[in-house]
């Protein structure tokens, strides 16, 4: 992989994805080999939106590579409260850290911020835009659970409009020629820009308003949360909340090998009774965030070192 920054999943070619996933698998098999690999490195965490998994797994990843974090902390306790611009914030923090991870509510913020810094910047979610590292760990999980990434039929269900994990995943799946079935209420369909990307990539895509008809065909079902915080009107959210849930009854029509995934956090999209079944892969998916982010950081920090020399 030869990128300075990772700001959108659209950057990720099939070769890039395979390189990161192969490296992640190597690291997962032998974590001791990389324990001191980036011993002197600091990762700057700039999270302008809530996060549990993404932030903690980046922190775990750099620490397991021997490095450490410098964390801006919450927006309330930072200079952002005083009106500092994002461009200024990242320019300051790049002086403290060897790489930056940014999560921000505004779509396009990661691309903009990356233009102001020389250290590698990773987008950990820009509003309803992209979340490329989530896609890498999604694909790592899919590759392991569904025995490879070729010839897959993938259902993606829930909030396709505001769900950034969906936008990233749908884009990258086109590199693997997957058949993609999108299931959502009419009002939460994929945004036009993503449909355009998929069309341009010649993707095999169909859209549905209910899961029933296509469930038996699916190898993977990727369920997502309705992104309440991105609805301009709370009533609109309430009108759809609670639809598009799956439980043991729903899955009676599914193949025995169906892989159920979810980027988490879940609200009520997947009934807890599914957690103990062989369908459930979402907790392992979250755990895979560590080796995948270790692999990515390792590669970006190595590239940056190469550029310095």
Smallest separation (angstroms) from ligand NCD to the CB of 87: 23
CA 183 to chain centre: 19
Cβ atoms 256, 295 nearer than 8 A? no
CB of 256 to ligand NCD, least distance (A): 27
CA distance 59 to 293: 9
Contact 135, 165 (CB under 8 A): yes
Rg (CA), the chain: 19
SS (H, E, C) 210-277: CCCCCHHHCCEEEECCCCHHHCCCHHHHHHHCCCCCECCCHHHHCCCCCEEECCCCCCCCECHHHCCC
Given the residues 5, 103, 181, 293, the one annotated as active site: 103
165 is an active site residue:
no
Q: Is 132 a binder of ligand NCD (CB under 6 A)?
A: no
Site for ligand NCD in 248-277 (CB under 6 A): 263-264
171 binds ligand NCD (CB under 6 A): no
Q: Which is nearer to ligand NCD, 179 or 225 (CB)?
A: 225
Taking residues 53 to 92 in sequence order and writing x for each that binds ligand NCD by CB under 6 A, - otherwise, the string is xx--------------------------------------
Task: Tell me, yes or no, if 131 is annotated catalytic.
Answer: yes
Annotated catalytic residue 133: no
Cα–Cα dist 76/71, whole Å: 13
Residues annotated as catalytic are 53-54, 82, 103, 131
Residues near ligand NCD, by CB under 6 A: 53-54, 125, 131, 134, 164-165, 225, 263-264
């Amino acid at each position: 992989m030869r990128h300075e920054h990772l700001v959108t999943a659209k950057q990720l070619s099939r070769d890039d994805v395979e390189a990161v996933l192969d490296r992640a698998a190597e690291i997962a098999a032998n974590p001791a080999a990389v324990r001191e690999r980036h011993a002197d490195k600091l990762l700057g965490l700039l999270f302008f939106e809530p996060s549990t998994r993404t932030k903690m797994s980046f922190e775990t990843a750099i620490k397991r590579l021997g490095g450490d974090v410098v964390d801006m902390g919450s927006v309330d306790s930072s200079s952002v409260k005083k009106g500092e611009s994002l461009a200024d914030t990242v320019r300051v923090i790049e002086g403290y850290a060897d790489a930056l991870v940014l999560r921000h509510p505004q779509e396009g913020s990661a691309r903009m911020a990356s233009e102001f810094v020389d250290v590698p910047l990773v987008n950990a979610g820009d509003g309803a835009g992209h979340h490329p590292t989530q896609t890498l760990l999604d694909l790592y999980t899919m590759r392991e659970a569904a025995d490879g990434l070729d010839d897959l039929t993938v259902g993606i269900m829930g909030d396709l409009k505001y769900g950034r994990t969906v936008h990233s995943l749908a884009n990258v799946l086109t590199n693997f020629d997957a058949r993609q079935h999108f299931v959502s209420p009419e009002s939460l369909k994929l945004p036009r820009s993503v449909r355009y990307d998929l069309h341009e990539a010649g993707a095999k895509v169909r859209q549905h308003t209910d899961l029933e008809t296509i469930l038996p065909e699916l190898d993977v079902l990727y369920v997502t949360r309705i992104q309440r915080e991105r609805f301009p009107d709370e009533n609109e959210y309430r009108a759809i909340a609670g639809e598009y849930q799956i439980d043991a009854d729903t899955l009676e029509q599914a193949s025995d090998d169906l892989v159920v995934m979810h980027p988490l956090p879940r609200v009520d999209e997947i009934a807890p009774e599914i957690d103990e079944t062989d369908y459930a892969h979402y907790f392992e998916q979250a755990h895979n965030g560590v080796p995948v982010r270790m692999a990515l950081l390792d590669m970006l920090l190595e590239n940056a070192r190469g550029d310095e020399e």
